[in-house]
Amino acid sequence: MNSWLRLSAVKLHSRSYSLLPQGAQAYIGGKWTSSQSGKSFDVLNPYNNEVVDRVTNCNVKDAEKAVQSAVEGFEQWAYSYTAKQRGAILHKWFEILLQRETELATLLTKEQGKPLGEARGEIQYSAAYFDWYAGEARRVYGQVVPSAVHNRLHLHTREPIGVVALISPWNFPTAMIARKAAAALSVGCSAVVKPAEDTPLSALALAQTAEEAGIPAGVFNVITADRANTAEISKFLCESTDVSAISFTGSTPVGKLLLAQSASTVKRVCLELGGNAPLIVFDDANLDIAVAGTMATKFRCSGQTCVSANRIFVHEKIHDQYVSKLAAAMKEKLVLGDGMDPKTTQGPLVNQKAVDKCELLLSDALGKGAELICGGKHGEHGSSYEPTLITNVQSNTNIANTEIFGPIAPIQKFREDDEVLQAANNCRVGLAGYVFGKDTARLHKFSRRLEVGMVGVNEGLISCAEAAFGGVKESGIGREGGAQGVDEFTNWKYICTQY
């Protein structure tokens, strides 16, 4: 078995750290390979800034090689394997992820920083997509269309789109690849994966498990690169005529850039971009449920999720009670520290830039009248930042109009339903939203009228393999997960037969 998932202690630059393979390589055409440039870059643990591994730094030449391998792999995967056979391999991949959960989660925590318990949950969540699409592979149905004339047969079939480029983020380095790749491979596509430069190791470990599951050479390729090379590689993937679709999860500005770069080849683009989720607590809400939901959506991954509650609107009648309960829950349950420590429930932010952003947003809010209830300080280690609660947040503050991507819970009061609905929708992004209350008519109204792609009603954790994930406005194009997830990777074909 490849040494990828074996942990060993080595020294580099007089610094001791855990390493998986020595000299981590890209995975192209079923082989582990170094970049043609001969260069590499360091992957750091955000909690202590120690080097986790050194990874090969791919360039456009390597990307071209990966795309060519995917072109060759596609022909075999799409047309020599039946849907049932593809599904069986995906199901084996699912089983391997569960079997190797501890190893994969440990790696994920070391490079991303999230608590080991959350990392385990991510591996389970990732595996669920391979399980789901193992079954969906055999349910990609076409249509028989009645003809208006005699002696003709009209068929609609769904064909795999071809080679797809999957560009993934650092906050869920295994799950975001799994969600895309499982759907794409289930219908016969091949993939070139470009993981975030902060967290490439989880993607490479996923490639190793793909090989163990029996994914043929060329069907799943991973190219790693630092920030500078990533821009050139992404541009190449968008403009390549051999790449039929781009699937990207990340920031809205980068998504817009990729969309523009893909215009020259008129390729399919699936974007899961930023969110600025509203969370509304009505005066009839069960406050224990509302606080539990807020904790789940706000502080998971230290607030670094695209569906994290960023704008928390609380009815004035129950505002003080809610804030008191939320502050108590934060004090009791949120423990900032090293993700490998079993007591830790809040890991570090991804880098110092993320900490700086939180500090600027908090300073602006406090300067405009917000009240600090708890937190608000840089942690003792690396890019750690204390879970923070502020109230009396004004609508003209930066934090009320910016995706925070950090562990700050900003509370705004409201009085009228129409007032809070307008405030919640006064945003150019619309990924997720949350409502807490008991009045079913009101909950139904807000579920329908919130301008978002997903709504949690009395629930803070909404994502699962069986449901469609995606947003509206500038939060993206297309859906991932559920039966809808294969839509991004298939084309409808009309066949007219005279007989």
Residue 92 makes CB contacts below 8 A (sequence gap 6+) with 213, 214
Q: How far apart are CA 197 and CA 204, in angstroms?
A: 12
Tokens coding 109: 């925590």
**Contact (CB, 8 A) for 330 and 389:** yes
Neighbours of 220 (CB within 10 A): 29
CA-wise closest residue to 259 among 250, 98, 92, 18: 250
CA-wise closest residue to 339 among 113, 54, 44: 113
**Contact (CB, 8 A) for 235 and 261:** yes
Type of residue numbered 389: L
Q: Reply yes or no on whether 272 is catalytic.
A: yes
**Contact (CB, 8 A) for 334 and 380:** no
Q: How far apart are CA 46 and CA 339, in angstroms?
A: 10
Tokens coding 224: 């790693």
Catalytic residue among 118, 272, 480, 488: 272
CA-wise closest residue to 43 among 18, 10, 66, 62: 18
Active-site positions read 272
